[in-house]
Amino acid sequence: MIKTCFISCRNLSNNNLVGSIPNVLSQLTSLTVLDLSRNQLNGSIPFGLLVRVQDGSLDLRYGNNSDICTNGNSCQLPTKQRSKLAIYIAIPAVLIVIIVAVVLFCFIRRKCQGSINNSVRPRNEMMTSYASGDDLYGDGSLRLESRQFTYEELKMITNNFERVLGRGGFGYVYDGFLEDGTQVAVK
């Protein structure tokens, strides 16, 4: 023997319910009052419940559920609003992509220019720079010369890479002395 349960009034208000209203509620024919107010429900009210509300057999309360639609068509945004929404999403997305591309371009360009400016000069080419300071040459300037050394010269300068000063991100740094006795760090 199957027992039937009759529910005539159901108060589900203020229960933090989320999602859409289940269709199965329209099959509870003995239900006369259904209070779904003050929840977070969304979507359309099932057609079966709408029919019962219209014929007066159900008192449906759904206030303070801002995303509930009273008929199936009102849940759809009009075509104009959908196209505006697409524009509102597309324009910022395109702007973000452009900004990221410009930043990357500037970063890569700066990196490339830096590598050109920091390139090693050929062995015979000397670079002389002047800085105010100690008067080493009698004209109030300090002359610094830069040149490229061979591997054999580096072995001689560092005494066969004998004394390690430290280690950095690009390898070891060695202590060395030039022919004139100037102490140098060799990387």
Query: Is residue 164 within 8 Å of residue 185, measured between CB atoms?
Result: no
Number of domains in the chain: 2
State the residue range of the domain holding 52.
9-75
Closest-CA residue to 69 (of 44, 35, 46):
44
Burial class (CB in 10 A: 0-12, 13-18, 19+), 69: middle
Residue 172 lies in a domain: yes
- State the CATH number of the domain containing residue 151: 3.30.200.20
Q: For residue 165, count other CB atoms closer than 10 A to its CB.
A: 13
Residue 61 included in any domain: yes
Structure tokens at 68: 């509930």
Q: Which of 40, 44, 46 is nearest to 63 (CA)?
A: 40
Q: pLDDT digits over 118-175, tens only?
A: 444 444 444 444 444 454 555 555 566 677 888 998 999 999 999 999 988 888 999 9
Residue 112 belongs to some domain of the structure:
no
Distance of CA 178 to the CA centre of its chain: 51
Q: Is the pLDDT of residue 1 over 80?
A: no
> Is 187 one of the annotated binding-site residues?
yes
Instruction: Return the ∠ at Cα 42 (arms to 73 and 18), rounded to 5°.
Output: 160
Which of 27, 50, 75 is at the close of a domain?
75
* Residue from 159, 158, 147, 152 nearest 185 by CA: 158
What pTM did the predictor assign?
Answer: 0.37
* Span 9-57, pLDDT tens digits: 888 888 888 988 888 888 888 889 999 999 988 888 888 888 888 999 9
